[in-house]
Amino acid sequence: MQFSDTSLNTGILQRARQMARVDANQWATFNVVNSCNDWLNKIFTEGKILDIRFQLDDTNHTALPEGTSNLIVSQSDYSFLTDEQDNRITNLTRIDILDSSGLYRQLIPFDQAEVRGIALDEFLKTNDLPRFYDKIADNIIRLYPTPAASVTSGIKYYFQRAPSYFVATDTTKKPGVADDLHRGFVIASAYDAALTLGLDNIQPLAVELAKEEQKITDYFASRLTDEPLIIRTKWRNPR
């Protein structure tokens, strides 16, 4: 479903106003944009919670959620704030390092709380090829040990990023999520209009909004159709 379609009135913008029973003066385009972007954030937040194996990404992004960065001798900390198209990186999912043979090797994630008995500054303090990384923020890592050499594109990182948000000038752009979830953008905006303007149709819209929220849950619960179902039983001592 595209954002705006003035010829057939089937866009999110037009349908949201129809559902709320308002016009463009009562519920301006920027209000619909804000509601859509809030709903987009909800889908991405729920997706990350409900299915940690799903590398959820907005289909409007034209580059893959991965990148490379130079490895700097003796530098331990590296930040990855945005991707190559300036989208905000929200979470790092994997770090690989380029070794002397020209092959990338996966680094092992760990947390500084796992280092016991010695000061953290003493842990793998001699420069070498990094083997571990500590995610000290959503998009900042610390390597252990620190690199013994500078290497061009020595770090390959994989990530999750912010979705592709709507702006008021969008027309044919569609939400970068599954088609099954598109109606939610209409209902969310209509509900926000009813809530903001004190409309008497807020209760039926709340019912429809709850259906769309459940649809998000159901979608992520049934997404892994290409993976076999494994049933594990637990043994309990009868004594």
Listed by start position, the domains of the chain span 12-55+166-221, 66-161
Per-residue pLDDT at 238: 52
pTM of structure: 0.85
- A 10 A CB-CB count for 88 gives 12
pLDDT of residue 60: 97
Return the pLDDT at 232.
52
User: Position 189: which residue type?
Assistant: S
Q: What are the average pLDDT values for consecutive 10-residue runs of the chain, which has 239 residues? A: 96 98 98 98 92 86 96 97 94 95 96 90 93 92 96 96 96 97 98 98 98 95 61 52
pLDDT value at residue 49: 86
Q: What is the DSSP string of the chain?
A: --S--TTTS-SHHHHHHHHHT--TTTS-HHHHHHHHHHHHHHHHHHHHHH-TT-----TT--S-SEEEEEE-TT--EEE--B-TT-PBEEEEEEEEEE-TTS-EEEPEE--GGG--SS-GGGTT-S--S--EEEEEETTEEEEESPPSS-EEEEEEEEEEE------TT-SS---SS-GGGTHHHHHHHHHHHHHHHT-TTHHHHHHHHHHHHHHHHHHHHS--TTS------------
How high is the pLDDT of residue 179?
A: 96
Instruction: Report the distance separating Cα 204 and Cα 222, nearest Å.
Output: 27
Q: Are 14 and 6 in contact (CB under 8 A)?
A: yes
Closest CA to 74 of 7, 143, 21, 121: 143
